[in-house]
Amino acid sequence: MMVDIPFRDDMKKASLEGRKCCTSRNSKYGHPGDTFLIDGQLFVIKKISKMKLDWITFRYFKEEGFNSPDEFKAVWTEIHPKAEYDPDHRVWTHWYEMVA
């Protein structure tokens, strides 16, 4: 099934360049095997897991397309301005790869 996962322009670029292979969200977007497009390029969801935001920040910041945990945290806070960064908040992490 084709799903829609919105990305910021910088995260689209990171995905298309292969520097980003997962995205963490407050909601679950699809299921493993579902596909989505980024600027016309097809991607497939490989796995979805639910983890604490703190774990993503410090363990998977590179896979999220960032250079440091602080950079990930700053963007998360920018995207979610009404909620404070809560390290115990559980998010859905979508692991994906580009389809050749």
Burial class of residue 53 (count of CB atoms within 10 Å of its CB; 0-12, 13-18, 19+) = buried
First and final C-alpha spacing in the chain: 18
What contacts 75, CB < 8 A, 6 or more positions away? 8, 66
64-92 tens-digit pLDDT: 999 999 999 999 999 988 888 999 999 99
Rounded to 10 degrees, the C-alpha dihedral 39/24/63/85 comes to: 120
Q: What is the pLDDT of residue 12?
A: 98
Ranges of the chain whose pLDDT falls below 70: none
The rounded distance, in Å, linking the Cα atoms of 2 and 99 is 13
Residue 98 pairs with which residues in a beta bridge?
43
pLDDT at 81 (0 to 100): 86
Q: What is the pLDDT of residue 59?
A: 97
**Tokens, residue 58:** 């410090």
